[in-house]
Amino acid sequence: MLTCDAYLTPTSLEEALRLWAEASAKGGRLVAGATDTLPWARQGRAGDIAGDRHVPAIVDISRVAGLNDYGIQGGRVRLGANVVLQRFLEDDTLKRHLPCMPYCAVWFADDQIRQQATLAGNIVNASPAADATPPMLALDGAVELAKAGAGGIARRSLPLSGFVLGPGKTALDPGEIVTAIECDSAQGYGGAFEKVGQRRSLVISTVCIAACVKPSADGRRFDDVRLAMAGIGPVPLRLSDVEAFLRGKPVSPDVIAAAAELPTDRIRSRTRQDYRKAVVRGFVERAILDALSDAGIAVAEPRAREELAHA
């Protein structure tokens, strides 16, 4: 059982930052959706509570004004820290601007958990195979951070690529709270998300990939490609070389198959490397094909799609 001396529910950012500055210094726990809190306690992922599973205070920021909102301006989407995964399945505006996120969200746990689990929380957990990180990484995601300062609220922004440092490790300073995730709008792109795990229901990723693809007006060439993958190393990776290889090239099975070979040499996981290489090759192809299909472009399936089916 997880116990605490105080369960605090601030309603303003100023109050939340003040309470968290005090609680974090004493080993407290910050939650919003709180879907990962009991697994965190049971699995002993925080050594300080692995024994008696007790924390001095839990600060719940789910009621903080403004953190549940989103906005779109200047080609960027700003997602408040409390935006939940289910919203990407229900909000038509978000589906248009972030076309890979509905496919990510539908794979994420079940309806009840998606109604609680936040995008920011999934990223802050810093799992090497977190579902939400690849879509945001592919879209030049950045993390907005805030903490209580002497003159008010001190704010900063970090690229997502520099925020997740390793398994369970981020660039969060003591007392800081993630207030928003910001990323490029991908309106006009086709989107896709793929994942594989050790079971079919409520699957936890072994490897996952997000893709946004913008074909040319005639559908014959790649105008732009955004790709990011998780589960092949200690941190999720942007596949920038694959993106650069595809831009301007013809949309064809041979080109897609050649692109899929590029990231197979960057597997850094210690286990099941041959399996992961086969999955990476197949997933890159599948994600590109599915994103093209989402954009209304049909392409003959390359050979690795069949290989993936038997992986």
The domain locations on the chain are: 3-60, 70-184, 190-309
What CA–CA distances, in Å, run from 229 to 81, 158, 192, 237, 269?
22, 19, 12, 5, 13
139 Cβ neighbours under 8 A, 6+ residues apart: 98, 183, 184, 185, 186, 212, 226
Using an 8 Å Cβ cutoff, are 157 and 149 in contact? no
Q: How confident is the model at residue 81 (pLDDT cuts 50, 70, 90)?
A: very high
Tens-place pLDDT, residues 136-177: 999 999 999 999 988 899 999 999 999 999 999 999 999 999
Give the orientation angle of helix 253-261 with respect to helix 273-294, to 10 degrees: 140
Q: 288: helix, coil or strand?
A: helix
Q: Answer yes or no: is pLDDT of 235 > 60.
A: yes
pTM of the model: 0.88
Q: Does domain 70-184 have CATH number 3.40.50.620?
A: no
**Spatial distance between the Cα atoms of 210 and 228, rounded to a whole number of angstroms:** 6
Phi/psi of residue 293, each to 5°?
Answer: -60, -40
Q: Compute the average pLDDT of residues 65-79.
A: 97
- Across the range 192-199, mean pLDDT stands at 77
For 190-309, CATH number out of 2.40.50.140, 3.30.1360.170, 1.10.600.10, 3.30.390.50 equals 3.30.390.50
